Chains A and B, each alone.
Chain A
């Protein structure tokens, strides 16, 4: 029944886990206690209304917002799989990822506080509310819903599948992958329903801390085992020098693709994903955003450098590994003390839970507010909308579990498309919060061309003319989107002056 190409930990690890079961039980037990405590306190603090469920009544401090952003962006699949990618394509991949986070961080400062000011003034709690209101168009609201649905479903299914595999391994094979998927789906769904975005944010902060500790411990283990960080790099430069340069051993990362992947995927993931907007709205003041941007960059620098060390040292220890996706897990149990190796697996579990809960919440709120409430049932009150969110979470849980159980290998490519889709909203967002010359026609047309273009180029329906230059389809689609957005804006009239005053006038006054 379970026949999936998505593997995040090697089945061989089960034997090691069985031999050290008491340590596993204590580590996982401590994690579960942390989970229950944060859920309990978040539930106690909750006011039980829609605003609290959606944006934590706009009371989150910058530390919580930073950790919850990091935890929701860093998926378990990525955490386990990125060292394998580095093992294959080289350090250029991490250069691209860190560049993407650098650009995302400055945009979080620039756009985040603008989004916060408008959300706080007009009560927005979704991307669709802000963009739909500015451009006065339900078409644009539906774009945001479509992107949120694709993005959330793709990521949640991939995370549930990975979570099932991880629970199978952590239980020493006692719990099957299918039971693991059902268990993780149930826990995450109930957590989101009972605690809303406040519980998610608090638990993400706990999860983010677990991940950082796990990755720092892993890095320290690698450095000690290699006899120093310089010895590690010298070893790699003698055996596989291509791994330390661009475009890398398989030529995947010329400078253009370092930028294309960084902008096309990472900016989308950390800035334009619907889950990120809920964190922006949930912040308690606009002055938080510079701190959030710094915190995000520092934490991802720690995580990504750890991933780089894992990938490169994995190449030294396991140069001919059959499946590079397993390199981090094999390395953990090869060179680290068992408790630290288990902490790494728990760190991956933390990333899986954090990504799943964030996107379940994002899906329910965007679909409920921007599609059902805004278009289908306009007179819905807040209590009904809150209940609708619960139903949507349960519905998504059923769909995602089914997709995870009967997974056919489409989810990972879909997740790449989804990250590319989110960045298609970037020009529209600039128009709404920074560029008053933007027009309604441009906002409707640019994603209408850009989104299908991602499918067409990435699936190879039409050859990407810039592929020889190392420019990916998602990045080319963004370039086309920006070109259309700017050109059509100049050819048509701007949005009505009253909207410009409501949005840009307010921002001009407050910034």
Chain B
């Protein structure tokens, strides 16, 4: 039986010397996504805590059900946006010739 706790033998660096790979978004688009997907549950909480307690029907549909469909719809829209953006980016990468693509075979060799 071999029980390995290799981390005990490792030399670990100080936090101040850590490489800069942050959990925080890298760019403005990342921050926008972060804000969108965290704001929705916060707004939803406030909405169900206030309106969700009321027996109100909107178009004869209970408001709690309407709010539930709205949060799901908002997440689906946000994720679809990510999907189409990622697809466009990967197609763009495929279409953009790289330096090695434009090299003649003998140059590449």
Contacts and interface: CB of A to CB of B under 8 A. Distances in A.
B81 to A, nearest CB: 9
B3 A375 contact: yes
Nearest to B51: A245
Q: Chain A interface: which size bin?
A: 35 or more
A283 to B, nearest CB: 14
Contacts of B44: 99
Interface string B21-52: 10100000000000001001100110011001
Interface stretch (A172-180, A229-237, A323-331, A384-392): A229-237
Contacts of B99: none
Contacts of B18: 436-437, 494, 497, 500
B55 interface: yes
Contacts of B107: none
Interface residues of B, number: 51
B4 A138 contact: yes
Contacts of A437: 15, 18, 23
Given A95-B68, A245-B55, A493-B13, A139 B5 contact: yes
A246 B55 contact: no
A294 B83 contact: yes
A65 to B, nearest CB: 14
A135 to B, nearest CB: 6
Contacts of A242: 55
Contacts of B59: 230
Given A106-B75, A244-B65, A430-B23, A230 B60 contact: yes
Contacts of A230: 59-61
A217 interface: no
A508 B76 contact: no
B12 A496 contact: yes
Given A241-B55, A504-B19, A255 B13 contact: no
A435 B7 CA distance: 18
Contacts of B21: 436, 500, 504-505, 507-508
B32 to A, nearest CB: 14
B106 interface: no
A237 B62 contact: yes
A111 to B, nearest CB: 12
A274 B80 CA distance: 26
A177 B2 CA distance: 44
Interface in A284-308: 287, 290-291, 293-294, 297-298, 301, 308
Interface string A69-110: 000000000000000000000011011001101110110010
A382 interface: no
Name, among A106, A231, A258, A435, the residue most crowded by chain B CB atoms within 10 Å (CB to CB).
A106
A497 B18 CA distance: 7
B10 A136 contact: yes
A59 interface: no
Contacts of A290: 79-80, 82-83, 86
A367 interface: no
Interface in A166-218: none
A500 B19 contact: yes
A396 interface: no
Contacts of A259: 41, 45
Contacts of B3: 138, 375
B87 A287 contact: yes
A12 interface: no
A287 B76 CA distance: 16
Nearest to A231: B60
A495 interface: yes
Given A102-B75, A237-B55, A290-B83, A135 B7 contact: yes
Nearest to B85: A290
B83 A291 contact: yes
Contacts of A381: none
Contacts of B98: none
B61 A233 contact: yes
A359 to B, nearest CB: 27
Contacts of B68: 91, 94-95, 98-99
A436 B12 CA distance: 12
Given A91-B65, A95-B68, A378-B2, A440 B7 contact: yes
A20 interface: no
A287 B90 contact: yes
A220 interface: no
A430 B21 CA distance: 13
A144 B57 CA distance: 46
B53 interface: yes
A494 B12 contact: yes
Contacts of B13: 493-494, 496-497
B49 to A, nearest CB: 4
A501 to B, nearest CB: 7
A376 interface: yes
A316 interface: no
Interface of B: 1-7, 10-15, 17-19, 21, 23, 37, 40-41, 44-45, 48-49, 52-55, 57, 59-62, 64-65, 67-69, 71-72, 75-76, 78-80, 82-83, 86-87, 90
The 3 closest A-B pairs by CB, nearest first: A230-B60, A290-B83, A244-B62
18 contacts: A91-B62, A92-B64, A102-B40, A106-B79, A136-B4, A136-B5, A233-B57, A233-B61, A237-B55, A245-B62, A255-B48, A255-B52, A294-B80, A308-B65, A494-B12, A495-B10, A496-B7, A497-B18
Given A234-B60, A297-B75, 5 more contacts: A91-B65, A98-B72, A99-B41, A294-B83, A496-B13
